[in-house]
Structure 1
Amino acid sequence: MLTEFLRDQCFTTAWFGLMAFVWFGWSQEDPPRSRRVWLGVGSGLGVAFAAAFGVLTALNWDQPTALQGRYVWFGVLVAAEVVAAGLGCLLLARRGRSRWMAWWVAVVVAVHFLPLALFLHDVGVAVVGVVQLAALGWAVPRVRATTTTSSRVAGPVMGASLLLSAAIGAALTLPGL
């Protein structure tokens, strides 16, 4: 979002759009009726950002990337994220607390944005992670007060923050193309 690397900027915008689609989709697991249309609109907008900036990523693939020479460490970070999310969900399932899975995965994703920002030389990615962590902390008492799935809260938090970040990334990228 705030990187000097055009290819990374386009890819991050596309990826945030795709992940907004995913999180809005997960939040449709158990939504209040009044949010269903908005969750669908968010999903659609996420797909639009993913498609448009996926094409722009491909068109700018020959541009430099902050990940050059660090792909292995990037892979280690992503693998650690997947393992942490998976193990946490397994533990939650075994303890009969599977309704917290979406919240747990959201926390892992938000935390992973902090080192990812270092890899990408993009403080904007860290800001997204910090905002998400704060919102997910705010959500804990709301999830505890109900018996519904945490996707009802975590999905919109993650989807909206990623969609907004994709929009900011697009606004910063398009004038320079």
Structure 2
Amino acid sequence: MLTEFLRDQCFTTAWFGLMAFVWFGWAQEDSPRDWRIRLGAGSVLGVGLAVAFGVLTAANWDQPSALEGEYAWFGLLVAVEVAAAGAGCLVLARRGASRWMAWWVAIVVAAHFLPLALLLNDLSVAVVGVVQLVALGVAVPRLRGTTTPSSRSAGPVMGVTLLLSAAISAVIAAPGL
């Protein structure tokens, strides 16, 4: 990420690595057989970044953060995200459209990156969200033409964008560590 705050850089890298692991895992719900090695490799790389930068986050916890004084807003943003994802999934389940749950959660996550970028004072977080929203939007026609779970499309979109963002962030952070 492109922030002046080392702690935020390390944490975001760790978090994006962890979330890449999660999304690659969800993508394996109904993935084609030939995707599984790549999805597994993405998961392993995501966990590696999460562990390495989780340790670096802890080591730099005394450094300043863009969130200082903004923790209440950050908590509210996360609460709204979780509520929107959960409410949407509940509606989808009640309508018999649970195969769209991964796509919906991905849309909510990607959209939450836009206000999160303001809180973190890091435009690159918004760029990640916009790229994800566009890619998820492009996937809709293909998803409508099938009965497979949306995790097959949403998982790789989210996993790849988060893993690439974490890797770029790791490279940017390296000189300051």
Give the TM-score, by structure 2 length.
0.99
1:56-67 matches, within 5 Å, as 56-67=56-67
1:58 partner SS: helix
Task: Report the counterpart of residue 85 of structure 2 in structure 1.
Answer: 85
Q: CA deviation at 1:154?
A: 0.1
Root-mean-square deviation over aligned CA pairs: 0.4
Task: Report the counterpart of residue 126 of structure 2 in structure 1.
Answer: 126
Over the matched positions of the two proteins, sequence identity in percent amounts to 77
1:33-112 matches, within 5 Å, as 33-112=33-112
Amino acid at match of 2:32: P
Q: CA deviation at 1:96?
A: 0.4
Q: CA deviation at 1:4?
A: 0.4
Counterpart CA distance in 2 for 1:3 and 1:49 is: 18
Task: Report the counterpart of residue 164 of structure 1 in structure 2.
Answer: 164
Give unpaired runs (5+ residues) of structure 2.
none
Q: CA deviation at 1:175?
A: 1.5
Length, aligned pairs only: 177
2:19·2:159 contact (CA, 8 Å) conserved in 1?
yes
Question: C-alpha deviations, 1:7-63, integer Å up to 9, x for none?
Answer: 000000000000000000000100001100000000000000000000000000000
Counterpart CA distance in 2 for 1:15 and 1:153 is: 21
2:6·2:176 contact (CA, 8 Å) conserved in 1?
no
1:9-48 matches, within 5 Å, as 9-48=9-48
Counterpart CA distance in 2 for 1:74 and 1:56 is: 22
Amino acid at match of 1:104: W
Where has structure 1 moved over 4 Å in runs of 4 or more?
none
Amino acid at match of 1:42: G
Amino acid at match of 1:35: W
Amino acid at match of 1:113: F
Q: CA deviation at 1:176?
A: 1.9
Q: CA deviation at 1:112?
A: 0.1
Does residue 7 in structure 1 map to residue 12 in structure 2? no
